[in-house]
Amino acid sequence: MASTPIQSEARTDLEPSFVIPLVLLFGAIPIFFLQMWVGLAIAVFGVFLMVQTAIIKLSFTATALEVYRGSKLIRSFPYTEWQNWRIFWEPAPILFYFKEVKSIHFLPIIFDPGTLKACLERHCPLQSLRAE
């Protein structure tokens, strides 16, 4: 059952997705019995991503991608500064990359990937970014 993003006229809030953290946590179990420290490291990373999924929110506004921790805005990325973006491994999206004029960002897909891609195509079409 697909969740519906919270959307207003000028803002779309992405719903969290716990798929990657859960895959890491469950995948760490058999690895733990083969290589205890590797399995433990993967499990700890899975727990870290689980917590981040619960507290970090992304919102697409008319002018920027905004990142919130709870209800506090912690970072804003204006679309006018974007040069490129990509979602890695389309069959099962795991990583979101975007490049600004002065920096590059990688984010694990801990939010709804379908809504993410739709918002990116609406607010930052690749054709317009490459034409500049």
The gap between the terminal CA atoms of the chain, to the nearest Å, is 39
Q: Is residue 2 part of a domain?
A: no
pLDDT-based confidence at 109, cuts 50/70/90?
very high
Q: pLDDT of 63-75, one tens digit each?
A: 999 999 999 999 9
pLDDT-based confidence at 1, cuts 50/70/90?
very low
pTM of the model: 0.81
Token digits for 92?
A: 């099962």
Residue 23 belongs to domain with CATH number = 2.30.29
For the chain, the domain total comes to 1
Arithmetic mean of pLDDT, 42-54: 97
Q: Is residue 99 part of a domain?
A: yes
Backbone region of residue 109 per phi and psi (left: phi > 0; alpha: psi in -120 to 50; beta: other values): beta
